[in-house]
Structure 1
Amino acid sequence: MSQWPRRSNANLHPGRIVLDPQIQRCTSEQKHADDEALQRTKDAELADAQKAYGRVGAMESAMAARQAQDGTRSEKAVRPKPRPQSADQSKGDVEAETKLGTAKEINNEHSDIGPKAREKTILKLRSAIEQARKQVRAETESGTAKSKIN
């Protein structure tokens, strides 16, 4: 940007640079009138705010009276609908789950522990599940072996 004014504006207002930074003076009567006008606007805004607070308070008291008149029964919470289960989803071994508990229950019990302890719990859970699966396999194999003998 250039520092020089355009030729068309060079001589239009040559004294404006000197007059702009000067403080505009006013008489004490003008200042008093300005202060009174400012105070009137502040008082009007405060009165409007007080009226608004009064209206809100009246609405709240009317609502409280209406609720007391209707009764103090609380609305029942709506239960969420159960998620649909796919037909091909296997249910797993019911006995093993009842013995060990589900993984969600164990995780919920230990949700307040740290990450290292949670990892140990998960490892214990995995090993218990593996043992249960091996036990079920052994029982089913012994059952099939007995049926072959008979």
Structure 2
Amino acid sequence: MSHIVFFEKPGCGGNAKQKQWLLDAGHTLDVRSLLATQWTEAALLAFVDALPVADWFNRASPRVKSGRVVPEDVDRDTALALLLADPLLIRRPLLQVGDERRVGFDPAAIDTWIGLDSHAAQRSRAQSEGCAAGMNEGGCAAP
């Protein structure tokens, strides 16, 4: 099984479920706060650079949900500046195994990558990313 560095928003119910699926599959986790990490351009780009810019954003973020930030309308440099200034905008979780990094929690993709129990791998992306109803200002259900 794999040892995963898992960047989360502390208290996020969605991240809690994702961590449990990984643990249930036999992986070990080094859990880190996405918000407390001192992100640099290089460190963040190591996770997101291969994705389309719009996929860098947390769709459950209050700024995205309200329309104040429209990921499809943001260029790469502006997106990077926004994410560094407000880590709540970063799509999560960020996952790292060795030198490979991933963004978001798509159970089927994670199952292919490092293995995940078959029940979790069949869950839809909509169920496994984002937050539950009743979000607080940080974009997640209150703990």
Bin of the TM-score, shorter chain as denominator length: under 0.3
Q: More relative contact order in 1 or in 2 (CA 8 Å, sep 6+)?
A: 2
TM-score by length of 1: 0.16
TM-score by length of 2: 0.16
Structure with bigger strand share is: 2
